[in-house]
Amino acid sequence: MPAYEYDLNDDERELARLMRDFADEVVAPRSYAADTAHELPLDVVAQMGEMGLFGLPFPEEYGGQGGDYFALGLAIEAIGRVDQSLAITLEAGVSLGAMPVFRFGTPAQREELLPDLLSGAALAGFGLTEPEAGSDAGATRTTARLDGDEWVIDGSKQFITNSGTAITRFVTVTAVTGERDGAKEISTIIVPNGTPGFTVGPAYDKVGWHASDTHPLTFAGARVPAGNLLGERGRGFANFLHILDEGRIAIAALATGAAEGCLEAAIDYAGSRTVFGEALARRQGIQFMIARMRARVHTARLAWHHAARLRDAGRPFKEEAAIAKLTSSDAAMDNARDATQIFGGNGFMNEYPVARHYRDSKILEIGEGTSEVQLLVIARSLGLA
């Protein structure tokens, strides 16, 4: 059952259909070549920008579409069904690139930076993860000190999405800016690409998400104006947690799309593949496997729908976002494994989408909070500190 057949209003149903058509007609035909070349197809990104996808959950005054996070999730799910690399480009471009500026930026920062980000003319990255600071973001070692009217930044970041494309404009980095009450004071600072002392390293050779842009970053005395502080000084850690809560809903939508893509491919293949004189789909073992795949998709979709509805209604959604992210990433990984098994030897060939989903889906259990972190969030919400 496609997303547009769920309990959506007319506008949401039309968006889901539009995005499914775009994914099938524009994204999917380019997916294998982009994956093989390890290149983000910027012309497709431009089309996504022209469609207003990067501006979906933002007000019209900044060039957005005046929509909500649920609409963004519908777009990400549809694209993730056929190409996770492009889906994560959209997800990170919105959740990690533009959203911090919208949430915590000054009026001047919003007016300067948001129009290009929301139109898809520019991308931005969020530099959080470091070699010694992943899930334990409090272990951040990158530092920023004030020297007159400039921040001087030293340190490194790793695994940063959208940080090295031809249209990347800046990265927002977390850095230790001092000490407060005996603990690190962590702030977020905007660092434009091309800043002297800021180096974008070579792209990673990743297991999956081959067409997604991901780089390590190095800062060696990189200087930016004091006005590039994003949000209140010392609130960087708290602000980042809020951004991740929202981002987990978008990742859950992406993972649901991946799980759906694997389900659809498995149904098609099992119906056309003949084994011992009959269609593979006639074997009860295969039927049960596919039935479980369908149940995972349904559960994952309901979970991210619920979390997104809560977020858009201004209600608490932290626990629900964690549940959605945990449930959907498990669904994506389990469905990718089962689909690959159904495809047999063909499932091990990268030309088949299920093979790419098998490689791509593992990171969904790691990025924007590991499955273990989601379990911790859920346990704490139950009072199990």
Residue positions annotated with a catalytic role:
368
> What contacts 327, CB < 8 A, 6 or more positions away?
252, 299, 300, 303
Residue 264 DSSP one-character state: H
- How far apart are alpha carbons 94 and 76 in whole angstroms? 11
> What contacts 258, CB < 8 A, 6 or more positions away?
80, 81, 84, 332, 335, 336, 357, 360, 361, 364
- How far apart are alpha carbons 2 and 261 in whole angstroms? 10
Q: Count, in order, helices (H) and strands (E) of the chain.
A: 12, 10
Residue-by-residue DSSP string for 284-333: HHHHHHHHHHHHHHHHHHHHHHHHHHHHHTT---HHHHHHHHHHHHHHHH
The token pair that represents 360 in the structure block = 């791509």
Neighbours of 344 (CB within 10 A): 12
- Estimate to the nearest angstrom the gap between the alpha carbon of 291 and the chain centroid: 27
CB crowding 160-172: b at 16 or more within 10 Å, else e: bbbbbbebbbbbb
